Amino acid sequence: MNPSKLFFITGVSSGFGRALAEEALKAGHRVAGTVRNQQAKQEFDALVPGRSTGWILDVTDFDAIAPLADIVERETGPVDVLVNNAGYGHEGIMEESPLSEVLHQFNVNVFGAVAVIKAFLPAFRARRAGHILNVTSMGGFITMPGISYYCGSKFALQGISETLTKELKPFNIAVTAIQPGSFRTDWAGRSMVRSPRSISDYDPLFGPIRETREKRSGHQPGSPQKAARAILRLIDSPAPPASLLLGSDAVMYVREKLQQMSADIDAWEEISRSTDG
């Protein structure tokens, strides 16, 4: 068994966060996980008493994050692996979706993650060690109609992650963006926020997409448990990548976009280069 590590994972009540916490505990690691209420905390504490510790936190309560990081480092121990998993999906045609929804989407998926990183980073840098995992999405590189707010938030977190990879390498701190495809989590089910339909012009495009996404919820190809095991293999790598795709659909869609990008660059290269000088 590899040496035991301490994981700090946001959002361990369900989905990827819960699966990763359970697999890490099975592998002999310790997990400090954030939950939203006292009942969830008690349930998480009881998973493996002494090695699973729940902490109540809303990642949009930015002022509470740094004090909690200090308490975890002091009472539970130095964190080895920080996992920004907390997040949700917003679905809706952009023209139909209120501005308040994009603000909340970014508060949770981007600014909450940044606040957590900033809270733990001084300790990581002082120890010259640590691994930060940010759960982005294949939607942090590809796009689909009806999830512009979600993709925008994941593009932002992806860019932040890739930049951090370069900034923190001199301190022996690894940063990896985890880019899942479609997995059997609550993302497209009870966890998704859906804006009401209001503009009939979009019906032919978006009606079938929303219906299909709702029907597929719970039947996606990806297994959260297998994703968690893949992430544990990543943690053990001496040279982890800046990004890791999870799921055959993620690999397919990202390769398709790369091919299209390459074709567009070739087709427009003369105009692109004409702006120099």
Render pLDDT for 143-198 as a digit per residue (tens, 0 to 9).
999 999 999 999 999 999 999 999 999 999 999 999 999 988 776 567 789 999 99
Q: Tell me which residue of 110, 107, 105 sits closest to 94, measured CA to CA.
A: 105
Q: Please state the φ and ψ torsions of residue 97, each to the nearest 5 degrees.
A: -95, 130
Residue 1: the pLDDT is 45
For 75-122, the pLDDT digits (tens) are: 999 999 999 999 999 999 999 999 999 999 999 999 999 999 999 999
Q: Name the active-site residue from 149, 150, 202, 253.
A: 150
Instruction: Grade residue 2 by pLDDT with cuts at 50, 70 and 90.
Output: low
Residue 181 host element (H or E): none
pLDDT at position 62 over 60: yes
Rg (CA), the chain: 20
pLDDT at position 53 over 90: yes
Contacts of 162 (CB under 8 A, 6+ apart): 175, 177, 242, 243
Contacts of 131 (CB under 8 A, 6+ apart): 80, 81, 82, 173, 174, 175, 176, 235, 240
To the query of whether residue 150 is one of the catalytic residues in this protein, the response is yes
